[in-house]
Amino acid sequence: MTTKLASPGAPVTFNQETTHDLALTVRDLELWYGDKQALHGIDLDIYQNNITALIGPSGCGKSTFLRCLNRMNDLIPSVRSVGEVVMEGRNVLSKQVDEVALRKKVGMVFQKPNPFPKSIYENVAYAPRMHDIVSKGQEQDELVEQSLRAAGLWDEVKDQLDKPGTSLSGGQQQRLCIARTLAVQPSVILMDEPTSALDPISTATVEDLMYELKGDYTIVVVTHNMQQAARVADYTAFFHLGKVIEYNDTATMFSTPKHKKTEDYITGRYG
């Protein structure tokens, strides 16, 4: 399938029908905060319908890299980046790419649950309505239910949809944020330490949910939890000082890492 090229200067949007084995291809990605370089020559292939974990010590560039994938770093005035993050044949770092269209396609779940100060229903319905994905009425009701079911939350909240999203427990709030992300129908979901603020039971629930969601979505997750990466990820990338030291399938990475620095980190010698 060919994609129609935009006219010069026009924002690039994404073809919903295009499918590839690779969800994202990153080449020669470098990023600076002012004069300080935070990412150095990142090359990474992120595969469709898989969970890719980004691990490494604090300050190594994991979250910075994650935010490149939907250009959240653009919100920081001092940031400058070069290289390519290719999705559906387009470099999403190009100024021609519409950030709103990109962030609809590449959703994000943050470390701390951040439901809107709205009802549970409106937390899910608001963005799809603003994006003209649905209109008010039965179609919207069905999307809200579908999204909450996909996030494993429907049975717990179906009788209290008018209550504030902030009234839920921490684990429920995080699943509400996942439902909110799913409601705009992304193809990639970015998760920045999504369970670090949760108790062990809620963490297990979110991990189970991630495993279920990868059948329909590509997931990239930043985690400091080595056990979590080993449990949920198909592929793992080890970051250190703004570089990818090693990238492999998770089983190989944790059993026979190729680099001594990787081995030292995953065995707890530093980090």
Provide the pLDDT for residue 5. 33
pTM: 0.89
pLDDT bracket for residue 271 (50, 70, 90): low
Q: Which ranges of 91-225 would DSSP assign to H, the alpha helix?
A: 99-105, 120-130, 138-150, 154-157, 170-183, 200-213
- Could you give all domains of the chain from N- to C-terminal order, each with its CATH number? 22-116+171-266 (3.40.50.300)
Rg of the chain, C-alpha, whole Å:
19
pLDDT tens digit sequence for 171-207: 999 999 999 999 999 999 999 999 998 999 999 999 9
Strand partners, 236: 53, 248
Query: Residue 245 phi/psi, 5° resolution?
Result: -80, -40
Average pLDDT over residues 104-119: 94
Q: Comparing C-alpha atoms, which of 28, 21, 39, 55 is closest to residue 246?
A: 55
Residue 26 in tokens: 């990153």
pLDDT tens digit sequence for 22-37: 999 999 999 999 999 9
Average pLDDT, the chain: 90
DSSP 225: -
Q: Comparing C-alpha atoms, which of 182, 194, 185, 176 is closest to residue 122?
A: 176
